[in-house]
Amino acid sequence: MRRKDTRLVELGRDPAQHAGAVNTPVYRASTILFPDVETMRTEAQPYTYGRRGTPTTRGLEQALCELEGGARTVLTPSGLSACTLAILTTCSAGDHILVTDSVYGPTRVFCQKIAKRYGISTTYFEPHVGADIAQQFRPETKAVFVESPGSFSFEVQDVPAIARVAHERGAAVILDNTWATPLYFNALGHGVDLSVQAATKYISGHADVMMGAITANEAWKDRLVETHGTLGLCSSGDDAYLAMRGLRTLGVRLRRHQESAIEIAAWLKSRPEVARVLYPPMHDDSGHVLWKRDFTGASGLFSVILKPASEKAVDAMCDGFEHFGLGYSWGGFESLVVPGHMPRSFPPKLEGPMLRLHIGLEDVEDLKTDLTHGFERLQQAG
């Protein structure tokens, strides 16, 4: 059996089909021609229309599907569109969905605005609920949306326990698995029905692609493909090519992200300005036991809770960084910082302001120096 790094290099490509080219070429296509009416009528050829896929997009879908251990993967224009497609695949008007309170903010906005407008109701549950989520099910509950860990507050959820409860009640389980990727968390193996990736982030890895992906198990693949196609969602061959290029180095990059993040997280814990570090690999993190049980690694994203400080002081700290860019997203080669803001139904108790850090591929000592200067600005600004 091929190990993960070997699979990352080999999946989704067939040089013999493309004149020996190592990488599948970029196919830019809308119209695809049929040899005759019968073939057009029966769609008895691999590709029928650009929106329905080309060899470039299909190669990436197949690679991600095998990594996830699923039955079918589809690509979407963004991570958010993948999250919303998963909800629309599993829920209809009159249905109810349970969503973790630590969910990605734009997914929450979709539930509150668009899903509500179309008759899908949402209840948010405390991320640590585990099997006790059973108490929140209704007869019309059709799906549970989990995100483990949460991408700002980093609660690790007991996904297998939640999945058991959901399946006993006939509900699907959706997981936003962007933080761990299929390399570090086997979503479908832990009971998830639809695994969502913001491929914008670690899959692509270079801060230059917008893409989402959903991998479904056998039970949900047909419904996923139908909903995806009917909504007209697709990704371009150029973006699929770049995402596939990023996928080839995913294993190498994630190991470096993890190694650097663990070192910097431990260093931050020693700083007098820091109250806590929210990062599941740390032994004192509230989610460490579940993380160690279910995950095989960690990415470079975590949060820091500062001791009480003014907004002015936090702004001064963030405004002067040399290596940490101030920007949304994460998962690229570059380090990023963003002040934390979490709309929550069950807000966690925080000692002070929150900063979310993405540890990129820069030298760790340079990043420590940058943070040290930031703490100096924090202190000077009072």
Over residues 144-178, the pLDDT tens digits come to: 999 999 989 999 999 999 999 999 999 999 999 99
| The pLDDT value given to residue 235 | 96
User: Do residue 230 and residue 262 come from a single domain?
Assistant: no
User: Do residue 300 and residue 232 come from a single domain?
Assistant: no
| The pLDDT value given to residue 365 | 98
User: Do residue 237 and residue 265 come from a single domain?
Assistant: no
User: Which residues belong to the active site?
Assistant: 51, 104, 176, 201
| The pLDDT value given to residue 341 | 76
Select from 183, 216, 248 the last residue of a domain: 248
Strands (DSSP E) contained in 79-153 are: 96-100, 121-125, 141-147
User: Do residue 234 and residue 259 come from a single domain?
Assistant: no
| The pLDDT value given to residue 340 | 84
Domain count of the fold of the chain: 2
The parent domain of residue 372 ranges over 250-381
Residue 366 three-state SS? helix
User: Do residue 330 and residue 348 come from a single domain?
Assistant: yes
Select from 185, 217, 248 the last residue of a domain: 248
Return the DSSP state at 49.
Answer: B
With 0-12 CB in 10 A as exposed, 13-18 as middle and 19+ as buried, what is 319? Answer: exposed
Beta-bridge partner residues of 76: 212
Dihedral of the alpha carbons of 149, 371, 253, 182, in degrees to the nearest 10? 0
Of 8-12, 105-109, 198-202, 242-246, which range is least confident? 8-12
User: Do residue 198 and residue 68 come from a single domain?
Assistant: yes
Residue 129 — very low, low, confident or very high, per pLDDT cuts 50/70/90?
very high
Sign of CA dihedral 185, 188, 193, 198: positive
Give the amino acid at 292: K
Q: Specify the pTM.
A: 0.95
Which residues have a Cβ under 8 Å from the Cβ of 344 and sit 6 or more positions away? 101, 102
User: Do residue 202 and residue 262 come from a single domain?
Assistant: no
Distance CA 288, CA 280 (A): 5
Residue 14 — very low, low, confident or very high, per pLDDT cuts 50/70/90?
confident
The phi and psi torsions of 179 (rounded to 5 degrees) equal -65, -45
Give the amino acid at 97: I
Distance CA 75, CA 69 (A): 16
CATH number at residue 61: 3.40.640.10
User: Do residue 283 and residue 243 come from a single domain?
Assistant: no
CATH number at residue 322: 3.90.1150.10
pLDDT (tens digit per residue) in 299-309: 999 999 999 99
User: Do residue 216 and residue 289 come from a single domain?
Assistant: no
User: Do residue 210 and residue 191 come from a single domain?
Assistant: yes
> Contact, 298 vs 359, CB < 8 A?
no
Query: Is residue 342's pLDDT more than 80?
Result: no
User: Do residue 17 and residue 138 come from a single domain?
Assistant: yes
| The pLDDT value given to residue 218 | 98
Percent share of the chain, pLDDT over 70: 100
Residue 59 — very low, low, confident or very high, per pLDDT cuts 50/70/90?
very high
Residue 196 — very low, low, confident or very high, per pLDDT cuts 50/70/90?
very high
User: Do residue 161 and residue 76 come from a single domain?
Assistant: yes
Distance CA 83, CA 106 (A): 9
Select from 191, 213, 248 the last residue of a domain: 248
